[in-house]
A and B are shown apart, each in its own frame.
Chain A
Amino acid sequence: MKLITKLWIGIAALVILSPLGLILPGYFKAGSAWGEWGADEIQKLTGYVPGGLAKFASLWNAPLPDYAFRGWEEKGLGHLSLAYIVSAAAGILIVVIIMLLLARILVKK
């Protein structure tokens, strides 16, 4: 098998395993990454929401916020894991398309 094929199989395995990045933090009761809290979490931590943060925090409405589908926030871990895998696959597809387009511009034949 060609090395590139093996490496892509490795990437596919990582996509399927990716929900570990969702499940393990939940299991060990770990919260957000430091400095990546939402406004409500900051309110709890510091007792107030900084003015500029309140203004800019929801500047951008990502189509798949936190690697999940909109409206699935209350669904169980199974649904969220599925959304996580779909997000990983979709993200990789777009990353690869952009890289190949860039390569067409940058790399000489």
Chain B
Amino acid sequence: MHIPDGYLGPATCGIFYVIMLPIWTAASRIVKRTLKARQVPVLAIGAAFSFVIMMFNVPIPGGTTGHAVGGVIVAILLGPWAACIAITVALVVQALLFGDGGITALGANCFNMAFVLPFVGYYLYKAISYNAPVDSKRRVIAAGAAGYIGINMAALLTGIEFGLQPLLHHTASGQALYCPYGLKVAVLTMAGEHLLIFGWVEAIVTALVVKYLQKQSPGLIGGREVAQ
């Protein structure tokens, strides 16, 4: 889901930077107001977790690869705004140090994976786990569903961003200038592979961590202290 340089035209790249700027500003303002000093170690681990889990490329035999983002669990533990900052930092390091995801596409990649994914995941988790006891099975299921839907929304948007490029930018003869695949192929592929395979990876990762923390540290998933 890391869009490289050269796949999105300048307009798309610019728009997503412009969209992300106020989101990053709001995130720092809200985290400044709500995050407690003792939550900082969990936030650092969350960013590290998201960074490393994205390196676990899962193959579709004979086809493509994909991976979990690990962002929904960070949102569940610390709130979507703190998760936005943690995932943004992971994506920036991946782009600058490892060339995973483009510099020009960083705004779009952050919009998909550091904004849409944690926010959709967080509010879905909140809705499904509403009033559930901290140690209930419903919280594990809510976490799985939140991971699955969160990453699938991000994948769908990535597909749309890819797929709009041939419409926006092409030569007089109709040859694409950036991503060469249109909406139909891009959306069907990105949505399809995440619905079938990679979405389940995010679902399992999110559900397992919540299940583990239910026993180890119920306070973390009670949901009272998150930065909203």
A associates with B: yes
How many contacts between A and B, using CB within 8 angstroms?
205
Total A residues in contact with B, Cβ cutoff 8 Å: 64
Contact A63 B65 (CB under 8 A): no
Set of chain B residues within 8 Å of A92, measured between Cβ atoms:
48, 51-52
Consensus secondary structure, chain A interface: helix
Specify the chain A residue showing the minimal Cβ separation from B181. Answer: A35
Contact B90 A107, beta carbon cutoff 8 Å:
no
Q: Does B132 contact A (CB under 8 A)?
A: no
Report how far A14 CA is from B193 CA in the complex, Å: 24
Inter-chain CA distance A60–B92, complex, in Å, is 13
Q: Find out whether the CB atom of B6 lies under 8 angstroms from the CB atom of A56.
A: yes
B residues 66-125 in Cβ contact with A at 8 Å = 66-67, 85-86, 89-90, 92-100, 102-104
Once the chains bind, are A21 and B57 in contact (CB under 8 Å)? yes
Q: Does B223 contact A (CB under 8 A)?
A: no
Find out whether the CB atom of B28 lies under 8 angstroms from the CB atom of A3. Answer: no
Expressed in whole angstroms, the minimum distance between the Cβ of B87 and any Cβ of chain A is 10
Binding site for A on B (CB under 8 A): 1-7, 9, 28, 31-32, 35-37, 40-45, 47-49, 51-53, 55-67, 85-86, 89-90, 92-100, 102-104, 158, 162, 169, 171, 175-181, 186, 189-190, 193, 216-217
